């Protein structure tokens, strides 16, 4: 089956993008208060996002600090090609990548697990529908970072497929694969937990 | 989307309210009639709700903003004391070049090296001085131009999207790759010229004059065209342009030329060189000015799936 997916990559920018671009322009002009505004808006979402990449809170705060310092230095080169949110998440991801590489903890990828996402409903999903929320949340914490990452980006940070693709530097098809794989792996984790009970 | 087809792939984006109106309406219409997709939506709803629960506990330490300000204060205080900013700039440029080198297509290095080596072999094998220099004058600009066609753009660099969302600006990315690839081709052509000088006893400078300005011009033209249109168009354009020049000049060359100087005169280079240099530099400046406005990168939000 062939169909076109159109993802709204910019509708939120139309609503708040211009105002945020101006905040970055003020940061570029050296206004510390504007950086504080960015921090108030994004420190917590970024912290939550980084928590998907590593569970070391001390390291996350280090990465977060590096992220805002890098944003301060790079603000004058921000030209609005991406939303401020994607830009900041991109910087945070790059900083996390560097920090984890220095500690020999590579961000894992799911190349081996990649499979073409099916556009057909799967019949075996009752276990996911019927699981209570806490069990499902626990199962999500057992996913590999690469799968937890797309779930958080999609449902907590509400990025579009296109924004996730831009941030993670992968094609949109890979985002769909990762979401589909995450769902399948969650089902497997819950099924294993049920049989062990 | 085909009416009636399942919409499983779209459900996470639908839940996020990140679908365009048209897709959203189609998903809603499909969900009204499809029990299986409604069940899938329930699955995604459960996953979304459980994922959001993960976010509640995430908050940085209250003094983190203060630490960021401290670091910026230290930065500001340290900057004049560190001394020569030139050294810092040079270090930054060096890091930039080292960072960009692995992102340039590997094939460029190999193809340029092999083509130039082949050209040198042909030029050395021929006993005719003018044909030897003609070969180099022909090959060096084309080799450099082909490299330029592939240094920037989503077709050439899967990492470009993330690169532009990080502190390195598109202009710096382009400039550093341009320096690397053009510098490499320049080095190859210089080595080739030195080899020919040693074997055939050419004078070095006339030989360099023969290829340098055309190389700069053709490279800059190819880069500009590849940014404006595509690497393929740029490559074909460079080939056609250079092919026409070759056809036009080869007959003149065969009849009249016997030395490198004759080849240069046949190319009309003593007259053309300044113009080619100016035109080449103008095209380079255009490419550098234009690159941040090049909108071809990044997913455009629309894709087809099978």
Tokens matching residue A161: 């497929």
Burial of B155 per CB tally in 10 Å (0-12, 13-18, 19+): middle
pTM of the model: 0.52
Residue B158 has pLDDT above 60, yes or no: no
Tell me the pLDDT band of B294, cut-offs 50, 70 and 90. Answer: low
Cα dihedral sign, B98-B104-B110-B116: negative
Whole-number pLDDT of residue A186: 92
Do B13 and A161 lie within an 8 Å CB cutoff? yes
Do B2 and A165 lie within an 8 Å CB cutoff? no
Write out residues 96-135 of A within 8 Å (CB-CB) of B.
117-122, 125, 128-129, 131, 133-134
pLDDT tens profile B231-275: 888 888 888 888 887 776 666 655 555 555 555 555 555 556 788
Q: Which residues contact B171 (CB under 8 A, 6 or more apart)?
A: B288, B291, B292
Q: Considering chain B, what percentage of its residues have pLDDT values greater than 90?
A: 9
By mean pLDDT, which of A105-109, A128-132, B8-12 is the weakest?
A105-109
Q: How many other CB atoms are found less than 10 A from the CB of residue B206? A: 17
Give A77's contacts in chain B (Cβ within 8 Å): 167-169
The mean pLDDT of chain B is 76
Q: Considering chain B, what percentage of its residues have pLDDT values greater than 70?
A: 73
Give B16's contacts in chain A (Cβ within 8 Å): 154-155, 158, 160
Chain A CA closest to residue B63: A61
By mean pLDDT, which of A13-22, A152-161, B215-224, B225-234 is the weakest?
A13-22
Give A36's contacts in chain B (Cβ within 8 Å): 65
Distances (CA, A) of B244 to A88, B47, B241, B248, B254: 50, 63, 5, 6, 16
Q: Does A48 touch chain B (CB under 8 A)?
A: yes
Residue A188 has pLDDT above 80, yes or no: yes
By mean pLDDT, which of A86-90, A165-169, B84-88 is the weakest?
B84-88
Give A90's contacts in chain B (Cβ within 8 Å): 162, 165-166
Chain A CA closest to residue B27: A5
| φ, ψ at B195 (rounded to 5°) | -65, -45
By mean pLDDT, which of A14-18, A172-176, B12-16, B24-28 is the weakest?
A14-18
CA distance A13 to B164: 18
Do A79 and B23 lie within an 8 Å CB cutoff? no
Q: B74-90: string of b/e by CB count within 10 Å (b at 16+)?
A: eeeeeeeeeeeeeeeee
Asked whether A116 and B5 are in contact (CB, 8 A), the reply is no
Residue B67 has pLDDT above 90, yes or no: yes
Distances (CA, A) of B60 to A40, B70, B71: 11, 17, 17
Asked whether B264 and B203 are in contact (CB, 8 A), the reply is no
| ipTM (interface pTM) | 0.79
pLDDT tens profile A17-64: 668 888 999 998 889 999 999 999 999 889 988 888 887 888 999 999
Q: Does A42 touch chain B (CB under 8 A)?
A: no
- The kind and range of the H/E element at A3 are strand A3-6
């Amino acid at each position: 089956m062939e169909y076109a997916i159109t993802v709204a990559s910019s509708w939120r920018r139309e609503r708040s993008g211009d105002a945020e671009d101006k905040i970055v322009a003020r940061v570029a002009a050296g206004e510390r208060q504007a950086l504080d505004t960015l921090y108030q808006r994004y420190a917590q979402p970024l912290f939550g996002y980084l928590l998907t990449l590593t569970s070391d809170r001390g390291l996350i705060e280090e990465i977060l600090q590096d992220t805002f310092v890098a944003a301060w230095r790079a603000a004058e080169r921000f030209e609005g090609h991406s939303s401020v949110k994607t830009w900041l998440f991109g910087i945070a991801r790059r900083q996390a990548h560097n920090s984890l590489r220095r500690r020999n903890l590579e961000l894992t990828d799911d190349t081996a697990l990649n499979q073409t996402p099916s556009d057909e409903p799967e019949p075996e999903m009752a276990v996911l529908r019927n699981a209570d929320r806490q069990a499902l949340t626990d199962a999500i914490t057992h996913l590999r970072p690469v799968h937890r990452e797309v779930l958080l980006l999609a449902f907590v940070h509400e990025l579009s497929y296109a924004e996730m693709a831009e941030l993670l530097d992968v094609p949109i098809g890979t985002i769909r694969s990762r979401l589909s794989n995450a769902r399948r792996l969650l089902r497997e984790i819950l099924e294993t937990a049920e049989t062990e009970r | 989307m085909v009416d009636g087809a399942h919409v499983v792939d779209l459900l996470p984006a639908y839940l996020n309210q990140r679908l365009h109106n048209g897709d959203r309406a189609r998903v809603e219409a499909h969900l009204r009639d499809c029990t299986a997709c409604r069940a899938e939506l329930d699955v995604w709803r459960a996953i979304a709700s459980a994922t959001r629960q993960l976010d509640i506990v995430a908050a940085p330490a209250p003094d983190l903003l203060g630490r960021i300000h401290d670091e910026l204060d230290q930065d500001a205080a340290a900057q004049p004391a560190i001394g020569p900013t030139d050294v810092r700039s040079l270090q930054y440029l060096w890091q930039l070049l080292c960072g960009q080198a692995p992102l340039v297509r590997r094939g460029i290095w190999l193809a340029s090296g092999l083509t130039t080596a082949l050209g040198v072999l042909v030029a050395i094998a021929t006993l005719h001085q003018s044909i030897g220099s003609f070969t180099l004058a022909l090959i060096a600009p084309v080799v450099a131009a082909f490299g330029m066609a592939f240094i920037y753009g989503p077709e050439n660099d899967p990492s470009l999207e993330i690169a532009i969302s990080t502190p390195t600006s598109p202009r710096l990315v382009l400039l550093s790759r341009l320096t690397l690839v053009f510098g490499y081709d320049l080095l190859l052509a210089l080595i080739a010229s030195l080899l020919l000088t040693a074997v055939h006893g050419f004078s070095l400078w006339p030989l360099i004059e023969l290829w340098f300005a055309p190389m700069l011009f053709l490279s800059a033209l190819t880069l500009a065209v590849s940014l404006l249109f595509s690497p393929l168009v740029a490559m074909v354009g460079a080939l056609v342009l250079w092919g026409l020049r070759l056809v036009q000049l080869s007959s003149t060359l065969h009849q009249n030329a016997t030395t490198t100087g004759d080849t240069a005169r046949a190319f009309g280079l003593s007259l053309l060189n300044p113009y080619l240099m100016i035109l080449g530099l103008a095209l380079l400046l255009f490419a550098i000015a234009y690159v941040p406005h090049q909108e071809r990168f990044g997913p455009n939000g629309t894709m087809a799936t099978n």
